[in-house]
Amino acid sequence: MTTVDENPGRTNTATIRAIYPEMPGKVAVVTGAARGMGAQFAKGLAARGVHVVGGDIDDVAMKATAERINAELATDALVEQPGRVTGARVDVTVAADHEALAQVALAEHGRLDYWVNNAGIFPFALAEEISPEQISTTLDVNVEGVLFGAQAAARHLGEGGAIVNMSSVSALRVRRGRGAYCASKAAVHHLTESLAFELGDKGIRVNQIAPGFIDTEMTQWIKGDPEALAKALDNVPLHRFGAPEEVLGAMLFLLSDAARYVTGNSISVDGGSRHV
């Protein structure tokens, strides 16, 4: 498998920060930020001066990730005045937990500007065998988790605020054994459009990112199955996994003022796989 540079944005962090001059001092909530793309979003935002409240059901990992990011940015010669990352526990299926995250952001920083609904699960079960518990849990985390996050964001983001939801190429392309997941991400796709329509009244934008295969814990299973891996990569026009860092650029753009007339939209970061 072709690999990518561990941190392709590394050499131009300062340049990218200059592209989004409005970001320093702003405050973001990122769910599912203990690892994977959520951790990358937290770090990428903090590197640009945004304070981040990262929420995850795995609060031990979340706090460790927050400490690691703060330590790394404090000694990064390319990063001036990074934002602070705070780790907190959240179960995104519980509406009150989202409000608690918002309150942490307001108590620590006095404002809230961005909300990233990133937490998700990726269960396997053939459609004929999906249990009531599996479908409920998948919809609870992947769909209700997004809705409850957006509700909390709608209460606290002001005009110019931005929400980004994590959808998937699986919202458009089905995968064997992922019926519950595909259905949940298709729901996120439509929910994003509904939220954009309604929250536009408050000047809040709502967009989504639809990743393809991104190299995180969620996709490690496929590396142990060479046949499935070869088939999967054959169906990616760029023939490799994406790195979490390669999704960050789309996230920053959608949150930023550069996207101030973009809402209800989806950016695919999938190596072209939605076409195959």
Interface contacts to ligand NAD, rule CB under 6 A: 31-32, 34-38, 56-58, 90-93, 118-122, 141, 166, 168, 211, 213-214, 216-219
Closest distance of CB 218 from ligand NAD, Å: 4
CB of 188 to ligand NAD, least distance (A): 8
Nearest approach, Cβ of residue 48 and ligand NAD (Å): 20
Please measure the distance between the N-terminal and C-terminal CA atoms of the chain and give it in whole angstroms. Answer: 19
Identity (one letter) of the amino acid at 276?
V
Which residues, other chains included, contact 174 with Cβ-Cβ below 8 Å and sequence gap of 6+? 182
**Whose Cβ is closer to ligand NAD: residue 117's or residue 256's?**
117
Report in angstroms how near the CB of residue 118 gets to ligand NAD at its nearest.
5
Gap between the Cα atoms of 55 and 210, Å rounded:
21
Q: Nearest approach, Cβ of 86 to ligand NAD (angstroms)?
A: 15
Give dist(CA 263, CA 265) in Å, integer: 5
User: By C-beta, is 173 or 202 nearer to ligand NAD?
Assistant: 173
| Of 16 and 61, CB closest to ligand NAD | 61
| Options 20, 114, 181, 261, the catalytic residue | 181
Strands 205-211 and 266-269: parallel
- Distance from C-alpha of 160 to C-alpha of 202, rounded to nearest angstrom: 8
DSSP for 46-114, written as a single string: HHTT-EEEEEES-HHHHHHHHHHHHHHHHT-TT-SSPPPEEEEE--TT-HHHHHHHHHHHHHHHS---E
Whichever of 49 and 56 has its CB closer to ligand NAD, that residue is 56
The single residue listed with the structure tokens 């996230």 is 251
Write out the two tokens for 247. 């999704």
The residue (of 251 and 259) whose beta carbon lies closer to ligand NAD is 251
Residue (of 42, 187, 13) closest to 118 by Cα position: 42
Which amino acid, 257?
A: D
- Catalytic, 114? Answer no
Would you please indicate which residues are annotated as catalytic (active-site) residues? Answer: 181
